[in-house]
Structure 1
Amino acid sequence: MQVVRGWVARQMPWIGALGLLGAAAQATAGDYDGSPQVQAFVAEMTRDHGFAPEQLQAVFAEVERKQSILDAISRPAERVKPWKDYRPMFLTDARIARGVDFWRQHEATLARAELTFGVPAQVIVAIIGVETFFGRNTGNYRVIDALSTLGFDYPPRADFFRKELREYLLLARDQQVDPLSLKGSYAGAMGLPQFMPSSFRAYAVDFDGDGHINIWNNADDAIGSVASYFQRHGWVEGEAVVSRAQVSGAQADQGLTQGIEPASTVAQLRALGWTSQDALPDDLPVTAFRLEGENGPEYWMGLKNFYAITRYNRSVMYAMAVHQLSEQLVKARGVN
């Protein structure tokens, strides 16, 4: 997609409202034109963030409510797949081969990101590979349609998506892009790394120095932004991600972590029958988890960098998929 800067195509600059009402009059009325919820939201954005109300009313006059988005987010979650079925979805020959190509194509940028942020190139590549298959699947919904639909018509998480809608409009103003032009997933996740607007504003970087942040079709900015995200979420340069464990005794499962956050130290797990294959400090907090692998149960200790990956997506299996894809990328590329 082509990012439209400055609203030039619509003669609707973010800064100043001259000429805006004329443009708004030509717009086709959208599903949220005149909505009381939207009017309240516009008033909030005007009061708290200095938007001209006519600006936002002109935008919402063209926003569409998408029933397909409501259907997708309301669909009952599929039964969680066991690791032996989940892993093959992401560690495919095609994804690994495309990842190696992506790495070679952007080798200099990845090396600079690793030097700047301390995050290994293979982890950055793996995230983009898992999230969007290196840009193949970035989403076809207008971001403003997705966030408006969920913010105004999905009560279970309306507050969250209205917050993201607020962040998105601020993002569009900051970056001088038309908020009606950007596309993403049905939940409003954007670009190669699938950042939500709040993550974009907090962690995305202009890594090619052109004065704009474009994670949609600028791999340099996407790479730098992923590395920035991980650095800000506690990635420790040079440290491992996980350690395989052996367990014994009736108390072993008592050590399994409930949730994601590291809850037990290595010493506490040892007392319950856990033995790490690596030398780890006794006082190190870890996330202890079990996966159902092809050859039976696998026991793992997730370290600080594992927890950093789960901050991207709060799933143990997601983090393991990213980690193991990164290992396979290194192997396939022939890098020690």
Structure 2
Amino acid sequence: MTRTPLLFLLVSLAPMAVAETHPGEDAFIEKAVAEHGLDAASVRALLGGAEFKQSIADAIARPAEGKPWYDYRPIFITDQRIAEGVAFWRENEALINQVSEQFGVDPQFIVSIIGVETFYGRITGNYRVLDSLATLSFHYPSDRTRDRSEFFSSELMNYLLLGSEEELPLEEVTGSYAGAMGMGQFMPSSYRAYAVDFDDDGRRDLWRSRPDAIASVANYLAEHGWEAGGPVARRAKAGEGADFSLLKAGYKPELTVLDLHEKGYRSATDLDPEREAALVSLEQQDRDEYWMVFHNFYVITRYNRSKMYAMAVYQLSEALREGMAP
């Protein structure tokens, strides 16, 4: 398929602005030209149509992941989300099985991620991605303790590059307040790196093509090292003298089940004592609960860095798997 030049016919060129539309816009355009060979006038025209949205700045300041687990879990583990997930799985069972086999990713996790992200494609976001990324690139809330404007600036650049690669109408595409797109809510850099054209139509369409969307989620997990059939998480009990400093070590498994056992934590007896594991806690209203988590849990956190997100995906996947049982 012949690709159109970047931004060609995707933006309506407006007269070049004398001043910046957004703070830092000139430096961004210089980088786009120097590093990617983009046309300065076209990029400036596109950014000139990007609107700052206070609602986006407000939303980034209060993500769902800021909630305690006892408030976060009920958002995603509901009877409706389970029922609709089972229905989605059954409707697309042949496709999901094909994708699962080809990419080596257990099917319940493919369905669960789409369920957590967009309610199986029903809620993909109604913010213009251009507005989201421009707002967070150039107007990131200055009172946030962790300034991520550089991250979103990189995503905005990837969005411009994605435009010609996938022939996207950059001024029209909608997604989440953070700029994530499609059934699997891929950020532009992830779209470029991990989306696949599973229906072989020459495009990677994460909105209208279920084969592309489903396979892209599987490919993302596979590329990050998914272990088919491997454990994700198991409940653990903290015994007397348990070493709680392990909870600060992160989600990447660097100890073994035996190590955790010796440091005061007990879990399922069928676990291989030599399997690498990490430890996480989740806040309940009256106590914390503890989980041993494994390599596949860490892989899910590559999709979203939150331990609560990964646990929601895991618990929803278990409910979906049970719902599909004969």
Instruction: Confirm or deny that 1:264 pairs with 2:250.
Output: no
The match for 1:64 is 51
CA displacement 1:239-277 (0-9 Å, x = unmatched): 121223333222353443533222432222121222331
Question: Which of 105, 112, 115 matches 1:129?
Answer: 115
Q: Report if the CA contact (8 A) 1:249-1:272 is conserved.
A: no
The match for 1:14 is 5
Instruction: Confirm or deny that 1:45 pairs with 2:36.
Output: no
Question: Which of 299, 303, 309 matches 2:300?
Answer: 309
C-alpha distance in 1 between matches for 2:232 and 2:63 = 32
SS class of match (1:179): coil
The match for 2:103 is 117
Cα distance, 1:77 vs. partner?
Answer: 7.7
CA displacement 1:122-161 (0-9 Å, x = unmatched): 1111001111111222111111111111111115222111
C-alpha distance in 2 between matches for 1:142 and 1:16 = 17
The match for 1:24 is 13
C-alpha distance in 1 between matches for 2:52 and 2:62 = 17
Instruction: Confirm or deny that 1:202 pairs with 2:199.
Output: no
- Note closer, same or farther for the CA distance 1:88–1:34 as it changes in structure 2 (3 Å cut): closer
- Note closer, same or farther for the CA distance 1:20–1:166 as it changes in structure 2 (3 Å cut): closer
- Note closer, same or farther for the CA distance 1:141–1:16 as it changes in structure 2 (3 Å cut): closer
C-alpha distance in 2 between matches for 1:324 and 1:128 = 14
Percent identity reads 46
Cα distance, 1:63 vs. partner?
Answer: 1.7
Question: Which of 239, 255, 275 matches 2:266?
Answer: 275
What are the ranges of 5 or more consecutive residues in structure 2 without an aligned counterpart? Answer: none
Count of residue pairs brought into register by the alignment: 321
Q: Report if the CA contact (8 A) 1:289-1:300 is conserved.
A: yes
Cα distance, 1:213 vs. partner?
Answer: 0.7
Q: Which amino acid aligns with 2:198?
A: F
CA displacement 1:56-108 (0-9 Å, x = unmatched): 2232232212122122223598863234x432221111101110111112112
- Note closer, same or farther for the CA distance 1:78–1:48 as it changes in structure 2 (3 Å cut): closer
The match for 1:322 is 313
The match for 1:223 is 214
C-alpha distance in 2 between matches for 1:134 and 1:15 = 31
C-alpha distance in 2 between matches for 1:75 and 1:207 = 36
Instruction: Confirm or deny that 1:81 pairs with 2:68.
Output: yes
TM-score (norm 2): 0.88
C-alpha distance in 1 between matches for 2:267 and 2:238 = 9
Using CA pairs under 8 Å that are at least 6 residues apart, name the structure with larger relative contact order, 1 or 2: 2
RMSD between superposed Cα atoms in Å: 3.0
